[in-house]
Structure 1
Amino acid sequence: MESYEKLKQKINELEEELTLYKRFVEHVNFPFSYIDYALGKVMKKERNVLSPTIETIEKDNNQTPILKWNIDLQKDYPFEQVEQFLAPIFDLVSHHIVFVDAEGIITLCNLQAANDVGINRDKIIGKHIRELLNIPDEQIMTLKTLRTKQPLYNCEVLDRYYGIINTRILYNEDGSIKRVISMFQSLNQMKEAEKLAIAGRIAAGIAHEIRNPLTTVRGYLQFLKEQLPEHIVTLIDQLLIPELDRANDIITDFLNIAKPSEVKAEWIEINEFIQHDLDLLLRSEALLHNVELSYRLDKKLKHYVVYIDKNQLLQVFINLVRNAIEAKTEKSLRVNIETKLRNNLAQIYVCDDGPGIPPTIIHHVFDPFFSTKTTGTGLGLSLSRKIVELHKGSMRVQSELGHGSCFIIELPAYSKK
């Protein structure tokens, strides 16, 4: 009797196990086939069919079992999970990749798109694409594809992002739009590179044609001072030689844009750099020009380091603060330096409450030779951004007329772990 009960229990366990296998197979969404030569059986399952079919074949103990499947990511897998799988792969792509649903809501945004636009990638998911691009709907090519249901092929975009966009449409089985996929190749960097190449050629020509004569003239002026009347010597010391030196400094700036000095980088904490190295230099400027300096540093950055050349980065920040001082009106000036950790980037904000930059010229402030100052060469900001880019970073500006300007520097941040 006891043996019968054990046998019955064993049979029940096997039946439950068989039921488990059958239910598992029924819940497999994608088509597959499994060939077991040792058993002489083939199991096949079609898409949208609940139960598989089982066929008998000739047994062969020497053959290895074969499993084949035909997964369609659109039909057999929740697309939200497909996007989660693709996101870290797209983060390695240097172009902008954005997925939106039929309502224009962002479901995927890669890091390059988020970083170039200057937003937090995690916060933009679930928002309308207009909140990412911040331009009118009629200028957003992704929404045009949604409206027309026509993909775009290498379409040139002439808005403030300037580049080439391609869009593709993924459909649901009922014909409705599941996703519009957009890939955008920004051409702004190429445009900037062309400008810098022109600047380099100009710099090389100027250096060759002018620098040597300037040095010769300066030397002769120094030599002739001993033989000239006092009022002429005063003119030489106070006007001629300073102007020659100024011209030489301009040539040096040209050459730095064309071929910057070698980066001698080291691993440092960006907050420590700002608190110790930068603050030491800026305090004297602040006291001299009635500038109120303040700092707001993200504590999370103490767990990260950046790879920078301190001397070159100091020059960038000094340029920014001096520009703010030169643009200030009669009132005192406040400059706030803030750091944030976002998308594995160390962001440094240098913001002032000065007069701001007119919207008609803000897109030209980094152009070589562009300046609104009568004595400016227009090379300071161009050189500053070049230095940041040599550190694998980026630099941009935000400004509202009458409410100050904010320069944003982003550098790759690496965890100490």
Structure 2
Amino acid sequence: MKNTRKRILMIDDDEDDFFLVNSLLQDTAPDQYEVEWAPTYQKGIAAIEKKEHELYLVDYRLGQYTGIDTLRHFHEIGYEAPVIMLTGKGDYAIDNEAMMAGATDYLVKGEITGQELERAIRYGITEFKHLRLIAENERKYFGIFEKSHDLIILADCDKNVIEVNPTAMRKLQYTKEELLTMNLKELFMNETEALQFLLDICEDSAIVHKEYAFKSKNGQKLDMLINANKLDEQLGTFLCVAEDISDKKREEQEKRNQEKFVITGRIARVIAHEVRNPLTNILLAVGQYRQDEQPSPEDSSLYLDIIERNCTRINVLVTELLQSTRMLELNMQEYPANDVVKRALALAEDRLQLNGIRLLEHYMEEEATLLVDEEKMNIALLNLFINAIEAMTPGTGILTVSTQMGQGKILIRIGDNGTGIPEENKSKLFDPFYTSKAKGTGLGLTSTQNIILNHKGTIQVESALGEGTLFTITLPLV
């Protein structure tokens, strides 16, 4: 059977004292404690170094040594344990010295009762466990505080900085002393933004994942993603944890710039290709016209027709490109979301019947309203319906149309069971003049994307070869 008694070591050169203490404990709390005896300072030190006891009773006077020497040895070997000092009557100076040296408590010999002794021991062991648990938690959280890669700032009710971690000092380029003399709003790049932050934290008690701009000591802008919480409602203290996203935003901007450069180059190549053919015809006609010294009226008319026809072609290409990509002037009105889709779908009804396409519709039951330019939205949705119809095999095609509401947005999904889109072509799908159709202009999806973006929405595509394609349009609710 496991021994559950708490082990106590008594260091005392008087055997009678040991006998009395042991008897008092056994009478008060039988079988609760196991008291062992070390009759000399040296034997006490040897037992302490084994670290086998839960509490130590130490007599102040141990020959040429004192109980204070014993307490110092605990510190020297880095051993923490509860120690109760046993002192003589009236040794108040010794009592104070013992407590200052780290003793848990002190008891006066000759005045100890069994209940007082047991209570002191029980309290000493329990309190020590609590203090050790608190110390471990403090070390754990202090380690997180010290080693965190995020800036951690603690502020008081007046928004004055009262504590910062090393990352905050390094990022903001202030010393700790400098930061502890500052108000939190001084760390913001923009005063209006700072005041709004302080207002939000006071009203909501929490700020979750919001971006703000801090400034370092030398005025450098630091983009921060901040989480803040009130720690004490009455005191008004709050904790601010800020992630420096400056490098991340810079990388994202560089990536966007590179993507714009790639898209611009692709558009330039497409335009060059589309314009070069009619331009070549114009140059050939002009060259032929010059070669003939006196062209007949019939030949002159032929050359001029070629030039005019190809100039018109170039003009149409440029006009279509501008119309598909320019910012639109929208006539916005409120419409039920389901009606917006149904009206656009009605425009494709003839094509659906002609190609024998089966239509599956799933509309949300909730009443939701969109703010749209109906004419423009009809164009955008009709382009998607037509593309889906043309991608499917007549007689076996299934067009699926659905609406759904979530998180303040409306999702419109348009799916087909057609041929699908190769992975390498997905990134070019919305580029001007890109088309897989023999007679397509390559501007339909460009125009669709432009309309959706002008409505502050987004459009995404999922596709698998041989399985079909799904377009998802996301639009904000009114």
TM-score of the pair, normalised by structure 1: 0.46
TM-score of the pair, normalised by structure 2: 0.41
Please say which structure displays the higher CA radius of gyration. Answer: 2
Larger RCO: 1 or 2 (CA < 8 Å, sep 6+): 1
